[in-house]
Structure 1
Amino acid sequence: MSERGGFFKRLFGGGKRAPETGEEEKPEVAGQAVEQAPVETAPEALPEAVPDAASEPESVASLPEPELEPATLTAEEVRPEPEIEPEPVAEAQPEPEPAPEPAAEPESEEPKKSWFKRLTSGLSRSSSSLKDSLVSIVTRRKLDDAMLEELEDVLIAADLGVDTAMRITETLAKGRYDKEISDADVRAVLAEEVARTLEPVAVPLAIDPANKPHVILVVGVNGTGKTTTIAKLAAQFRDAGKSVVLAAGDTFRAAAVEQLKIWGERIGAPVIARDIGADAAGLAFDALDTAQADKADVLLIDTAGRLQNKSDLMAELEKIIRVIRKKDETAPHTVLLTLDATTGQNAMQQVEIFRNVAGVTGLIMTKLDGTARGGILVAISARHQLPVHAIGVGEGVDDLQPFDAKEFARAIAGADAMEQDR
């Protein structure tokens, strides 16, 4: 009885109340509870309920029933604890993400930089390379025949072309022969001669409203930026209030098709595309049909990049033009050749071949910001006299701008450096 009483006392915490209810059958019930209840977990969980059991003596009379309830109570007391977990959900709900908005701040800074500043920055490699070469020649020397020859070599090496280089040295010799000359003097004459060469070919890309649509075929070798140029032109045309249709004619490159689709969605222009490897001429025909039905102002047709020495690919380009003319005898109204400035003298050969095959009517030079050979545009213009419609010095839409001869001449001559030197 002492052992059972001790357990009963530990179970209910009421040592003095136990004798008052002392019937011999009750310990047996308690013994049964000992066998059914969990081994030691129930006694440890129950001491918290001791004050309640001790303060209500009437509940002791129904001992067999409360012994089953503590097990359920202990289970219920353990379960409510995980219910606290929903609290972090409320904390996770407030997720204001104004993070993208600060990203717009750097973009607002770009328009503050003028086009000429961007052009000067883009041509800095060309102008810096030229300046360094000129400084090494003219420092502390008088202009003589030897210096004139060196200057001519430097200008030719800068891809300005033989004709331009000779005109510059001749102009220098007229008024400065046997006199000390600075690199700033040479670059001033350079800017004048380059501007004189380029001004006749600086022609904006015009859209003839009589053509519905005005068909622009864009051609060039691999990697000159044809697709990117088309996207930029399309965006600029839309900003000018013109309706545009895009033809994803580079059917060999999935990335080109996707790029045009993205731009088409962005500017609200339909994009005519086919499966990879589809006939480019047939696609161009369908695109022209769609543009005519929509009464679009402009149809821009992309083409696959092709090396100028691949006769089969050049023949395909001729086929595209033939098929387009079945729909419109006057089309394409403009044939743009995109040139990569980084290719240097190779661009000269591209102009010759594409002009013969596709009837190129104008040029767009890209990637002037990635080379020290920007002078090639001067040599091409002097030789071919083709209109230069636009130049590119970056990836942004605003980095493709109408060609301005004087600005280009000042930038390639290092106008900012000239002003500092004087």
Structure 2
Amino acid sequence: MTDISWIVIVLAVLVLVAVVVGVIALTSGARSRRGGALTLPPEEVSPFEADQPPAQGASAVLERDEPATPTLERPESVAGRMQRLRERLARSGALGQTLLSILSRGDLTESDWEEIEETLLLADVGMGPTTELMETLRTRTKVLGTTDPAAVREVLRSELLALVGPELDRTLHLDPAVGDDGLAHPATVLVVGVNGTGKTTTVGKLARLLVAEDRTVVLGAADTFRAAAADQLSTWGERVGVPVVRSEREGADPAAVAFDAVRTGRESAADVVVVDTAGRLQNKAGLMDELGKIKRVMSREAPVREVLLVLDATTGQNGMRQAQVFAEVVDVTGIVLTKLDGTAKGGIVVAVQRELGVPVKLVGLGEGPDDLAPFVPEDFVDALLS
């Protein structure tokens, strides 16, 4: 080939290469202007769009706020409760203040003594204790021969204290028992009472009192006739981190719930199991028999250490009749006296203990969550006379 022919071929090749390069450059630019990659990412579809369920096995990438860990309440110590409740009792000591004012008059007439007797009876002290106190006061004031308020107060204090019974055992027996299998059983507490005495609330407050003493607690919601009672108890438990055993079926066998609560307490090595029961009318034989069944069934898992009867202090002598019937059915070991604040009915303490030989172990003085404390006779009498 001639030199001219080679030049033509080379030029043709160069032109071809230039064309190819130009095409490639144009294509790249077009791609660049369209956003780069030709393969678009799959369209993101919100799991809340339309009514289409997400594909099985697909994981939804949703950011959700983690639920905050609830902050548990720390119940008030026993010492703090006692101080506050003493102050509240002192503000409602109408009984002691009335007696002091009469006894300090000097030479008491028969009318004065009748006024003292009426005051004691209205305070629900009861006829028997009232008669005893009247005779003792007549004798001691005559021997004393003085109207000095301090001396009269000391006489009244010693006699009221004797009626309240400082020698009675008011301890809550909550030490774990050892069963035949050698394992520790939780101390079990059965709480009973009629409707309207504040029984479920008392169970919740008792749980707080036990937590304040660093005991581990399980609650049993054996009031299966009212769903609200189990809900209420669950709320009390949640506030202090105490588990509640309950049935989701209204009208379930309360004995079965109580049994499960005690078993749960054993399996979790709890210190105390407290079982709430339905409010019962003391004249309903079937309900009272069921209460006896609950106690028997609980005893299969662990001995029942305490049976606490919740009484409303404002019901007076009617509350005492309630106590008698409950004591016949379940062998009551202690009284919880609620609504004692703001009332002159404190004499029910004397009456119920005298009739049953059962001590008042706890008192409720207010609607606050920690308004429940051990009953101390000396504090009670001193508050009445303050």
| TM-score past 0.5 threshold | yes
Mapped contact 2:208–2:370 kept (Cα < 8 A): no
Structure 1: segments with no counterpart, 5+ residues: 1-108, 416-422
In structure 2, what is the Cα distance between the partners aligned to 1:223 and 1:345?
16
For residue 368 of structure 2, what is the aligned residue in structure 1? 396
For residue 160 of structure 1, what is the aligned residue in structure 2? 125
1:365 and 2:365 correspond: no
1:285 and 2:259 correspond: yes
1:380 and 2:337 correspond: no
In structure 1, what is the Cα distance between the partners aligned to 2:160 and 2:99?
18
Bigger mean CA offset, 402-411 vs 286-295: 286-295
Mapped contact 2:95–2:120 kept (Cα < 8 A): no
In structure 2, what is the Cα distance between the partners aligned to 1:185 and 1:379?
26
Structure 2: segments with no counterpart, 5+ residues: 1-75, 179-184
Mapped contact 1:342–1:370 kept (Cα < 8 A): no
Letter matched to residue 291 of structure 1: G
For residue 170 of structure 2, what is the aligned residue in structure 1? 203
Counterpart mapping for 1:13-412 below 5 A: 115-116=82-83, 118-122=85-89, 124-125=91-92, 127-128=93-94, 131-132=97-98, 135=101, 137=102, 140=105, 142-177=107-142, 181=147, 187-197=153-163, 198-201=165-168, 203-210=170-177, 212-274=185-247, 275-325=249-299, 327-328=300-301, 331-412=303-384
Mapped contact 2:174–2:188 kept (Cα < 8 A): no
In structure 1, what is the Cα distance between the partners aligned to 2:151 and 2:354?
23
Shift of 1:132: 4.2
Identity of aligned residues (%): 44
Q: Does the C-alpha gap of structure 1 residues 397 and 191 become closer, same or farther in structure 2, counting only changes over 3 Å?
A: farther
Shift of 1:176: 2.8
Mapped contact 1:116–1:407 kept (Cα < 8 A): no
Q: Does the C-alpha gap of structure 1 residues 130 and 112 become closer, same or farther in structure 2, counting only changes over 3 Å?
A: closer
Shift of 1:287: 1.4
Mapped contact 2:78–2:373 kept (Cα < 8 A): no
Structure of larger gyration radius? 1
SS at match of 1:395: coil
Mapped contact 2:193–2:279 kept (Cα < 8 A): yes
Mapped contact 1:248–1:301 kept (Cα < 8 A): yes
In structure 1, what is the Cα distance between the partners aligned to 2:152 and 2:195?
37
In structure 2, what is the Cα distance between the partners aligned to 1:405 and 1:111?
16
SS at match of 1:205: coil
Q: TM-score, normalised by structure 1?
A: 0.65
Q: Does the C-alpha gap of structure 1 residues 262 and 303 become closer, same or farther in structure 2, counting only changes over 3 Å?
A: same
Letter matched to residue 301 of structure 1: V
SS at match of 2:341: helix
Q: Deviations over 1:122-165 (max 9, x none)?
A: 4634x225534764x55755124443343223212221223332
Q: Does the C-alpha gap of structure 1 residues 351 and 235 become closer, same or farther in structure 2, counting only changes over 3 Å?
A: same
Bigger mean CA offset, 179-188 vs 380-389: 179-188
| Count of residues in correspondence between the two structures | 305
SS at match of 1:364: strand
In structure 2, what is the Cα distance between the partners aligned to 1:261 and 1:403?
27
In structure 1, what is the Cα distance between the partners aligned to 2:133 and 2:360?
22
Q: Deviations over 1:292-312 (max 9, x none)?
A: 211211111000001111112
In structure 2, what is the Cα distance between the partners aligned to 1:295 and 1:246?
13
In structure 2, what is the Cα distance between the partners aligned to 1:224 and 1:116?
24
Shift of 1:229: 1.4
In structure 2, what is the Cα distance between the partners aligned to 1:154 and 1:239?
38
Q: Does the C-alpha gap of structure 1 residues 160 and 182 become closer, same or farther in structure 2, counting only changes over 3 Å?
A: farther
For residue 93 of structure 1, what is the aligned residue in structure 2? none
Q: Deviations over 1:34-88 (max 9, x none)?
A: xxxxxxxxxxxxxxxxxxxxxxxxxxxxxxxxxxxxxxxxxxxxxxxxxxxxxxx
Shift of 1:403: 1.0
In structure 2, what is the Cα distance between the partners aligned to 1:241 and 1:116?
20
Mapped contact 1:199–1:405 kept (Cα < 8 A): yes
Q: Deviations over 1:271-330 (max 9, x none)?
A: 1111222111111112122222112111110000011111121111112122223x23x5
Bigger relative contact order, structure 1 or 2, given CA contacts below 8 A and separation 6+? 2
SS at match of 1:228: helix
Bigger mean CA offset, 377-386 vs 303-312: 377-386
Q: Does the C-alpha gap of structure 1 residues 300 and 386 become closer, same or farther in structure 2, counting only changes over 3 Å?
A: same
Q: Does the C-alpha gap of structure 1 residues 175 and 311 become closer, same or farther in structure 2, counting only changes over 3 Å?
A: closer
Question: Aligned-residue CA RMSD in angstroms?
Answer: 3.0
Shift of 1:233: 1.5
Letter matched to residue 193 of structure 2: G
In structure 1, what is the Cα distance between the partners aligned to 2:141 and 2:215?
52
Shift of 1:204: 2.2
Q: TM-score, normalised by structure 2?
A: 0.71
